[in-house]
Structure 1
Amino acid sequence: MKNKRRYIGHCALCGKESNLTFEHIPPRKAFNWTPTKTVSGDTLINSVANERNPWNLDGLQYSNRQQGQGFYSLCSKCNSLTGTLYGDEYIKVARGFHDLIKSTNITVNGYIQVKSESFRPLPFIKQVLSMFCSVNRSMANDSRIKYIREFVLDKDATCLPKNKYRINMYLCKPGLQRYAPLSVQLLSGGNHKPIINCISEIATYPMGFILCFNPTEEISYDYPDITSFSDYKYEDECSVEMQLPYFECNIMFPADFRSKEEIQACIAENRTWNEAHTD
């Protein structure tokens, strides 16, 4: 029998050093059971610099994940805990959105009115937050991530502080997926004053999420804020009605949902500017 490779490291949730297990992101039964090719952000940025379209991954170096997308990020105890306490609720919602997308004539960047079946909001959002901990596993000791880790590990903890965190949700088209650890955007605010926007993103079929750190009213998204799901108790059930956009990912930058045509036009405009200002 061949020896299985061991991945020793600190668990993205409890922080203990152990033999890490593979955490599917999203859960395997939420349409994450097929082999995937993972390309690093550095590789993608270099390919775009070489005038390759950012959605064209042909010939790029990648990691082959036969079991689906995810990371060796959790110890066996935490992997079992999240799967038992939170995973089923996420899978239930994902399957409902899958059925809705397949039965609705929705176009990319269009919106759909959603009325969910009864589900438990707190386990659902804790599964989402657990996934963000794995995506941001290299920053596990950062105070912003540490608070989320503790929130996830306590089944009965409620009321994520909304002055520190905001979670927005959208529907995501099959195809390219995006896993962005904490990233900093510089956006233009009033009087051309820059606004710092700290976000992390998980974009996988059929749902995508943006986690904002220290959110400000100056920056808002045209898709639902689901942070209030954390206000429910673990056993509480409800149904929600909201309008969700249907996005596709064509580039590696978080919260960027431009079409291929928009990206190509931007590349051409930047190239023309560079040529005009190069000696």
Structure 2
Amino acid sequence: MGKFSQRLQKKVMTRGKTHGYCTICREYGKLTREHVVPQGCGNIEDKVIVRVTEYLDAPDKPKGNRSQGGIHFRTVCAKCNSLLGSKYDRELINFSNDIAKHLNHLTFGHVFNKITYRPYRTLKLAKAVVGHLLAANSVEETNSDKPLSNRYSMLSEFVLNEAAPLPEGFDIYYWLYPYKPIKMLRSIGSMNIINPSFRVAGDILKYYPIAFLVSYNSKPAPEYGLTKLNLPSTQKINDTAGVEVSYMRALRSDFPERPEDYEVLLMNDEVCTVAV
């Protein structure tokens, strides 16, 4: 118990050595700051970053590592940083800002559509989401040349190869997230202990106004109402596909990292963080 308590008291480190192994391509070199999520998605304010476990215990008084000018991780090389910024991030920014504008219409009493359906370059959108999740890693990973696991290796190749489709077995889901905390949850699983099955499993990125789940060989429980991102198998990088967003309801802000009755949560505390 003592060692566990000591580990929780350690600050989350987002900046390690200036040189190391990139968490996306795994090549050794100078590391750069990667904003998770892009600054264009509103990630520009000073934040305090803590572990999910700490935040769930004391959401009003987190004591963590202060990050100025938004949340950023010094975990990726300049080449991968540039790839995300120049090739993919603009689609994620456009998608996020469109949803935010629509939510603002509701706040100020303007005409409000309960559901929108618009075309986006969803392959670029998917690569941006995956790339930022790969960047939101422990700085300890930059100190070792250990190769990525098979799952993350496939996701890395998906980001690095502009023409690559989402690998077989992976799906990306999204849902409305009208809350301020930015949450990065890697390798997380919520399981029902009465009927043993994963309710939600994969990697999650949440920020105002949207949340994403990158799942592998699993589907979220249907009652959550998550929407699967439209990624046609023949889609090219600049092709568009229709994306539906429902504004009818929002899941609780701590879904799925706070287990409900008869649920258990499986996660790696080192790579599940919250910025507030």
Where on the TM-score scale, by shorter chain, does this alignment land: which range? 0.7 to 0.9
The answer on 1:70 being equivalent to 2:72 is: yes
Written as runs of structure 1 = structure 2, the 5 A alignment for 1:1-279 is: 6-44=17-55, 48=57, 54-56=58-60, 58=61, 60-105=62-107, 112-116=114-118, 118-136=119-137, 138=141, 141-161=148-168, 164-188=169-193, 192-196=194-198, 198-216=201-219, 219-220=221-222, 221-226=224-229, 228=231, 231-244=234-247, 245-249=249-253, 251=254, 255-256=256-257
CA contact (8 A) 1:166 1:227 kept: no
Q: 1:5 to 1:15 in 2, by over 3 A?
A: closer
Are the structure 2 counterparts of residues 103 and 34 from structure 1 closer, same or farther at C-alpha, using a change threshold of 3 Å? same
Q: TM-score, normalised by structure 2?
A: 0.74
Q: Does the 8 A contact of 2:176 with 2:246 survive in 1?
A: no
Read off the aligned partner of 1:246 and give its amino acid letter.
A
How far apart in 2 are the matches of 1:92 and 1:172? 16
Structure 2 match to 1:270: none
Following superposition, the deviation at residue 213 of structure 1 comes to: 2.1
| Counterpart-to-counterpart distance in 2, 1:156 and 1:135 | 23
- In 2, the alpha carbon distance for the partners of 1:43 and 1:72 equals 22
Q: Which amino acid aligns with 1:67?
A: G
Give the number of the structure whose alpha-carbon radius of gyration is greater. Answer: 1
Aligned residues: 234
**1:10/1:18 contact within 8 Å kept:** yes
Q: Secondary structure of the equivalent of 1:29?
A: helix
- Decide whether the 8 Å contact of 1:129 with 1:152 is kept in 2: yes
Q: 5+ unaligned residues in a row in structure 2: which ranges?
A: 1-14, 262-276
TM-score when normalising by structure 1: 0.74
Which letter maps to 1:135? A
**Distance across 2 between alignment mates of 1:19 and 1:127:** 21
Looking at structure 2, the residues matched to 159 and 39 of structure 1 have their Cα atoms a distance apart, in angstroms, of 31
**Gap runs ≥5 in structure 1:** 49-53, 267-279
Once the 2 structures are TM-superposed, how far is the Cα of residue 154 of structure 1 from its aligned partner? 0.4
User: What is the CA distance between 1:207 and its match in structure 2?
Assistant: 1.3
Structure 2 Cα separation of the partners of residues 114 and 13 of structure 1: 33
1:75 partner amino acid: C
Deviation at residue 177 of structure 1 after TM alignment: 2.4
Q: Quick one: which amino acid aligns to residue 174 of structure 1?
A: Y
Q: Distance in 1 between matches of 2:173 and 2:103?
A: 19
